[in-house]
Structure 1
Amino acid sequence: MAVYADKKVCVFCGSNVGDDLKMPVKMQQLANYLCAHNDTLVYGGGRLGLMGKIYQDIIAQGGKVIGVIPEILKDHAVRPVGQTTLYYVSDMSARKQKMIDEADCFVVFPGGLGTMEEFFQVYSWFQLGLVQKPIILVNLDGYYDDLLKFLQHSAKTGFMPKANVEALIVGNDFEALFEKAADFKYVKANKWRN
């Protein structure tokens, strides 16, 4: 069984906790996995919602964190403690670029518009070959079922390669998800059809 250890794992997630009480529990499981495998959390640097939850869960276990926060959101930033490095950047685009540069893989946890913006930035760059790292969708209680249907429809109607839909690592069992991430090999699909 492949283990995803000593890596930098970028987690995109909500600045709200959401209404499903399973979300914080699942976030704790993700934090446990990262700490058990000496992985470093890379995230948006916030102290609220699921972002704040994973930060607290990692720090409570003595884990390592890289936070990236734009100046416009500095009032929502964590106060760095323990093994935390917090970067302040000029804007949201610089934040995404810094997280992409730092990360070895991406975990897209349930979230709202900001999470979707981050996911689609990374995913579209994946399609272009600018990002060649594994992307994990945590599909807790089918949260991303409709998104996956949209992507499959986009591929079926010729707007993206089916291989790029299939390249996403989807599920909610972190051992299995990170085992697939450890075995991941990027293959660039031809986006343009003749």
Structure 2
Amino acid sequence: MPSKVIQNKEQKKEKLLEAAFFLFTRKDINEVSISEIAREAGIAKGTFYLYFKDKYDLRDFLIFTHSKKILEKAIEALDQSQILSFEDSVIFIISDIERQLQQQPLLLTFIKYNLPLALFSSHLSSSIKDDRYSLKHLFVERANQSGYRFENPEAVLFMILELTTSVFYQTMIHQIPCSFAEIRPSFYQAIRAILSIGHPEKA
């Protein structure tokens, strides 16, 4: 059982995360001070630096943890499905991410284009120790099983996630150039077109 000291430390960190998420989803980060975050969390300003070096470090940690949860839920849903084909697996994961973000527009507003940070950032806080490669492994494994060959599979996955978050953010939040419902068929056609580059018949 964790000691009271450890529990207290974790509770303070959780309060910081909740306070920062509340403020970052309502103001531009440049308008939010560390003092304001600490005040919202109900802790001393000096305590902030026990966990994060600055507010940008905290923001990146939040983006990472929320993005990781989104990806993990999508992978769990895929595991429970009967889908085996590579392309259908990728489309399923993107569709599940779509579903999650449609239900949490405030989270999408915060993450913006940064979902790939959960897999590809090398500049995250040293306090992040989670495995960032499960989706990479799944992508490569299912591609190989289906006979797909990409010169750089991680780059392909990165492009897909970049396209996904950019399209979701612009269409769901700003309706640019239209609503996501209008662009949805073309969006998934574009994802399949990217994946088709490594199709066995073209490899």
Query: Which has the bigger relative contact order, CA under 8 A and spacing at least 6?
Result: 1
TM-score by length of 1: 0.30
Which structure's CA Rg is the greater one? 2
Bigger proportion of residues as strand: 1
TM-score by length of 2: 0.29
Bigger proportion of residues as helix: 2
